Amino acid sequence: MAVCLVTGGTGSFGQAFVRRVLSLGWTVRVFSRDEFKQGVMRDELGEDQRQGTRFLVGDVRDAARLRRGAEGVDVVVHAAALKQVPSCEYNPDEAVKTNVLGSMNVVEACLEAGVPRAVLLSSDKAVHPVNVYGATKLCAEKVWLASNALGDCRFAAVRYGNVRGSRGSVLEKTGPVAITDRRATRFWMDVSDAVELVLSALGEMRGGEVFVPKLGSRRVVDVLRGADSGHETGLRRGEKLHERLLSDEELPRTWDCGDHYRVCDYEPEGSLRVPEEFRYSSEVSAA
């Protein structure tokens, strides 16, 4: 039975991941800032699930609290982040404190507690970033993966696009939604697929990898269907027209592993190196 610490455990991914691993018999520590969300989550869990769950109120900016939460843990999944692009643009210092310095605190907690494996949740916006959120996630990736040289803990990352139904998603809004640019495309996946990607990474990682799922993409306006207000506002500050999940610079180290791509310094069993001309862009993949 594994003991798992999930930072950002009351978020959309965190809650889905917690329920999934509880079904596998794991013990879970839910680490998050919002005591109200923890209370709601606790009430929604079944009695058996509550027995295997511990709720820790804390912020990833608090290194001491993280160290306490990581004691005796087998697996850390780091999902805590400030992720709203406009908010991060307006509050860049806060984004750095949580997404970069907070990730550094999680790394230190893993190393001090002797955690064997840790996975970071990253974003397509970390590839050639043009906004504060993407820049902080890229920096978090770099810090996270470089930490494999600091001790025995193995650090890996997963990187994916928009999650359908996640808190704050445009798909969660009610009524007509203004479109920034009708040409804009995004990668899409279900939260259950994100959960399985992390579980797969935890099972296959050696340390230093970035696991990238194979995702389809669509124009945002097509995904919204009837919610499109017909009003086009123009791209917001920090918003891209299209997203990418792999950079050109990563391609020499990228392997096609069947159901996902893996950026790493070794050849995974049964994999194929991606072609030099490969481009994983939401524009290219869009239906």
Residues labelled catalytic = 125
- Rounded Cα distance, 70 and 111, in Å: 9
Q: Which two tokens stand for residue 274?
A: 């991606």
Residue 141: name the closest of 204, 192, 209 by CA: 209
- Rounded Cα distance, 106 and 69, in Å: 10
213's torsion region: left (phi>0), alpha (psi -120 to 50) or beta? Answer: beta
Beta carbons within 8 Å of 276's beta carbon, 6+ residues apart:
251
Specify the residue for token string 């050639």.
128
State the Rg of the chain over Cα: 19
Q: Which two tokens stand for residue 104?
A: 């550094």
DSSP 8-state assignment for residue 170? G
